[in-house]
Amino acid sequence: MTLTWETSYAIALELKRLHSDVNIEDVTLQQIHDWTFQLQEFEDDPALCNDEILSSIYQEWFEELIHDRQ
């Protein structure tokens, strides 16, 4: 599956899987940016990235963690 900025939920799931040892509250948007570009399946234009997209990925990741704890 190819990941793009439009697949924020899929990106969040992959980051959650790969970085399960991190405290989500300590994760920065810069880390999400860097980690997303390191994903093997990620193929999108870096110029399209913005804080809104990164915040959306963060929110999706956070919500997944909350659901896991319930």
Please check whether residue 1 lies inside any domain of the structure: no
Q: Which residues of 25-37 are buried (b: 16+ CB within 10 A; e: fewer)?
A: eebeeeebbebbe
pLDDT of 59 > 90? The answer is yes
Kindly give the residue spans of alpha helices, DSSP state H, lying in 1-70.
8-18, 29-38, 51-69
**CATH code of the domain covering residue 28:** 1.10.10.600
What is the pLDDT, as a whole number, of residue 21? 95
What is the pLDDT, as a whole number, of residue 64? 95
Please check whether residue 65 lies inside any domain of the structure: yes
Please check whether residue 22 lies inside any domain of the structure: yes
Q: State the total domains in the chain.
A: 1
Q: What is the mean pLDDT of residues 14-26?
A: 96
What is the pLDDT, as a whole number, of residue 34? 97
% of the chain surpassing 90 pLDDT: 93
Please check whether residue 3 lies inside any domain of the structure: no
63 lies in which domain range?
8-69
Cα–Cα distance measured from residue 37 to residue 65, given in angstroms and rounded to the nearest whole number: 22
Task: Quick: pLDDT tens for 2-12.
Answer: 999 999 999 99
